[in-house]
Amino acid sequence: MAVNYNVEKIGANLRASIAVIPGWFPGLSHVEIVQQIAAYGFDAFESLGARDWEDRAEVGACCRDLGIRVGAVSGSGSINADGPVNPEFHDTFEKEIRETIPKARALGATAICGVVGADRDDMSKEQQMDNIVAAGKRVAPILEDAGMTLVWEPLNIKVNHAGYFLVYSKDAADIVRRTDSASVKILFDVYHQQISEGDVIRNIQEYTAEIGHYHFADNPGRHEPSTGELNYKAIFRAIHETGYKGVISAELGKTMETEQILRILAECGSW
C-alpha cells in the first residue's frame, strides 16, 4: 500500500491541533503514515508507544519537514502495578524518564505521560500524594533542562482501570501545584474525566494552568466523537478559549472508516 496524496484535505480548516492515531492507516510505514496524515490536512498524530519505534529519528525528520506535531509518549509508571505512589519506585521512575527524553526528542514530542500506579492499602492517600509530588520534583529539573513536560494522567476506576490511584482532576491539580514546576502538568483525558467526575468544560476552565496535554474519546464506549454523550465541538472550543496551543490527541477505539472519523474530527474542530 502506498501513500495516497490525491485525498481531500479534510483537516485544512481545523482551529485545534487534533492528533490522529497511526493505526488508522494500516499497510503504511510510520514515515508514510506521517505523509498520509499531512495529505489529509491534519497536523498531528499520537501513539504513546512511538517512543520505542525503531524508525523514530526518520519519523521525526519527516514530521519536521511536513509540519506534523507529535503528541505525548509513554514515560514511566503503571496502572495496576507499581509506580510513583511508592517511594521505592522513584529510582526506576527517574531512570525511565531519563531514557525517554532522547527518544521523545528524536520524534519531536515534548510531552511524556506518567501514570502513578495502583492505590496502595499500606499507605494513606496523603502519603501517596506526597510520594507523587516527590517523584515529580525529582525529575522536574531534568525535564526543564530538556524542554520536556511530564503529564500525570488521572484515569477512571468505574469502567476501565479499577484500583488505579489518581482519579480526580482536583487531586491531579494539587499534585501539580505542589510540585511547582512548569515541566510537570496534568494529562486531562476527557473520556476518563467524564466518567469520574463529569463537568468537563468547567474543570478544563478551572484547571487550565495545570493542564499540559489532552486525550479524548466519546462516552460511553470510548469511541469516536458523535457516538456518545459528549459535545466535542463545544469541548474543543472551550479548550481553545483557555489559550491552550498544544495537541489534543485521539485515544479511542475505531468503529468507522478512517475518512468518516477525520470528517467528524474536522467538524468538531472547525467551529
Respond yes or no: is residue 241 known to be catalytic.
no
Residue 37: all three cell numbers together: 496524515
Give all strands (DSSP E) within the chain, no chain letters.
17-19, 44-45, 69-70, 73-76, 111-114, 149-152, 184-189, 211-216, 247-250
Cβ neighbour number for residue 127 with a 10 Å cutoff: 13
- Examine residue 26 and say whether the peptide bond preceding it is cis (omega within 30 degrees of 0): no
Among the listed residues 46, 210, 224, 251, the single catalytic one is: 251
In order of 154, 181, 191, 220, 264, the CA distances from 118 in angstroms are: 12, 24, 20, 24, 35
56-84 in b/e form (b: 16+ CB < 10 A) is: beebbbbbeeeebbbbbbbbbbebeebbb
Select from 202, 85, 200, 98 the least CA-distant residue to 150: 98
Respond yes or no: is residue 251 known to be catalytic.
yes
Among the listed residues 8, 54, 153, 257, the single catalytic one is: 153
Is 129 in contact with 165 (CB distance < 8 Å)?
no
- CA dihedral sign of residues 58, 266, 24, 153: positive
Residues 6+ apart with CB under 8 A from 91: none
- CA 189/CA 217 separation, integer angstroms: 8
Which residue bears the cell 459535545? 231
Known catalytic residues are 153, 251
